Amino acid sequence: MDFLTNLALGFSVALTPFNLLMAVCGVMLGILIGALPGVGPPSGVALLLPLTFGMDPTSGIIMLAALYAGTMYGGTITAVLINTPGESASVVTCLDGHQMALQGRAGPALGIAAIGSFIAGTVGVVLLMLVSPALARWSLSFGPPETFALMLLGLTTVTLLTGENPVKGYISMVLGLMIAMVGFDIISGDARYAFGIPEMMDGVDFLPVAIGLFGLGEVLAGAEAAKGTPIAQGRYGLRDVMPTAVDWARSRWAIVRGTVLGFAVGILPGAGPTIATFLSYTLEKKVSKRPEEFGHGAIEGVAAPESANNAAATGAMVPMLTLGIPGSATTAIMLGGLMMWGLRPGPLLFEKNPEFVWGLIASQYIANVMLLILSTAFIPLFVRALRVPYGILMPIIILFCITGAYSLKNSVWDVGQMLVFGVLGYAMKKLGYSPAALTLALVLGPLAERALRQSLIISDAGAGIFFMRPISAVLTTAALAAVLVPVVRALVAAYRRRGAARVRAL
């Protein structure tokens, strides 16, 4: 009954008034941030991270984790009401959610999403609690080759899964790794690519980069569009958002399937909530007796992906906490935050900082309850927040970007860096590159380099070491497969085209 003791410890940490307040603030802010079009979970976490510097790490991460859960739901409100996903994990929700809103059923759509999120989030935390310690114990046996192979797998899968164009995805990732090389080399002490500038000798901090790419970059992309989009009318009182018995019967199993699938996808390094929503929507459509209703307001089409993204958001915490490998852009930013607080995520975290880990896990239960209460009772409030013109919100978000970048080290240099990466983020978004892959690579870069060099030092067979140890062999092969999939796909497509051309020539 080891974990019951641990959980009791966790609740004793999470239930202190201050931490409870932070969880409420996190969920509230999360729903609001998620509801703003273009400002998704990574931007929210990046912008809020500086606010938590003054707190102790446990309160800080509790707030961020609550915020993450909140943004997942906030994105849904925008998706259903104005057909613009607040963040990428709600893209699928637009399909049926907005159709329901047009049919005057926005209330039940938001209601079932809230209930599904609550069930998925709660089951997700239970799974998180059961899986993490075992995984952490197993990964204690990892040496540098396994660590490197795991990071390689995380980097290649996130790149493979985030963009439409794999070449641009890999360019983003390698660019992130190149930026990670700037600054003092931990082994030799060389100040690499610093050009004699003292600020660059310490390396490029990930926080101004993340705030620039996700905060300022998204705002600039939104700045072009002048006017807001119309909001679907409706009533959002508590009684209006309760799903009917029929809705509930149709959604029950969709929520269960979404939860299981979402958590499983979330655990995979590199595959975050967005992938989970697409997979679960496809699955529901396949198993449904009425596939023709999908896209025309089927409530399962809202329930399943909304459950899946919350379960995946919780699942993504597993590799972040136990292995130190984030499963998504958002957890990559949280990981950066942990490292700034001097906590080294990975197997030892469970042994060295139990009050931190279990406080976080317990606060996830609390955050889910808060989320259910706030999201059903306060929908009218959030709908009103959506009516604030973007022309007012945008400059305020920019100011938060500036304050956030400055507060890390009280340096205007960091603000300038944030600005540069904001422009880069805008261009990357418009041209189809992947800011998520760049951020992940920047966070993992120094750790991956150290693991790579240590592996090659202990190896007698050069790079062969990655294939000679069973765990790292499997992981490395999987990583290489992730690189090869788009190549093979492109070759097959080219071959088919040529074949078709030949047939036409005959």
Partner 1 sequence: MRGADRIAGAGLLVLAVSFSAGALAHYAYWSPNGPGPAFLPFWLGVVMAVLALLLLVGALRSREPGEDWLPRGEGLRRLAWVLGITIVLVASLNVVGMIVGTVIFLITLMRVLDRHPWPLTLAVAFAVAGFNFLVFTRWLRVPLPVGLLGF
Q: 306 or 449: whose CB is closer to partner 1?
A: 449
DSSP letter string over 281-326? HHHHHHH-S-GGGTTS--THHHHHHHHHHHHHHHHTHHHHHHHS--
* Cβ at position 51, least distance to partner 1 in Å: 6
Q: 300 or 414: whose CB is closer to partner 1?
A: 414
269 and 323 Cβ atoms separated by less than 8 Å: yes
CA–CA gap between residue 377 and residue 141 (Å, rounded): 47
Q: 31 or 405: whose CB is closer to partner 1?
A: 405
Contact between 201 and partner 1 by CB under 8 A: the answer reads no
Nearest CA-CA partner of 423 in 395, 396, 398: 398
Contact between 419 and partner 1 by CB under 8 A: the answer reads yes
Contact between 416 and partner 1 by CB under 8 A: the answer reads yes
352 and 321 Cβ atoms separated by less than 8 Å: no
Within 452-491, the residues that bind partner 1 by CB under 8 A are: 452-454, 456-457
Q: 131 or 398: whose CB is closer to partner 1?
A: 398
Contact between 357 and partner 1 by CB under 8 A: the answer reads no
CA–CA gap between residue 264 and residue 271 (Å, rounded): 10
61 contacts: CB under 8 Å, gap ≥ 6: 52, 334, 337, 338, 356, 360
Residue 5: strand, helix, or coil: helix
362 and 11 Cβ atoms separated by less than 8 Å: yes
* Cβ at position 487, least distance to partner 1 in Å: 10
CA–CA gap between residue 305 and residue 22 (Å, rounded): 27
Contact between 256 and partner 1 by CB under 8 A: the answer reads no
CA–CA gap between residue 58 and residue 359 (Å, rounded): 7
Contact between 214 and partner 1 by CB under 8 A: the answer reads no
Q: Which residue has the tokens 């697409």?
A: 278
Q: 288 or 407: whose CB is closer to partner 1?
A: 407
Contact between 53 and partner 1 by CB under 8 A: the answer reads yes
Q: 362 or 419: whose CB is closer to partner 1?
A: 419
Contact between 50 and partner 1 by CB under 8 A: the answer reads yes
Contact between 406 and partner 1 by CB under 8 A: the answer reads yes
| Side-chain-side CA neighbours of residue 350 (13 Å) | 27
Contact between 285 and partner 1 by CB under 8 A: the answer reads no
Contact between 220 and partner 1 by CB under 8 A: the answer reads yes
Q: Which positions touch partner 1 (CB under 8 A)?
A: 50-51, 53-54, 167-168, 170-171, 174-175, 177-178, 181, 185, 187-188, 190, 192-193, 216, 219-220, 223-226, 389, 391-392, 394-396, 398-399, 402-403, 406-407, 410, 412, 415-416, 419, 422-423, 427, 430-432, 449, 452-454, 456-457
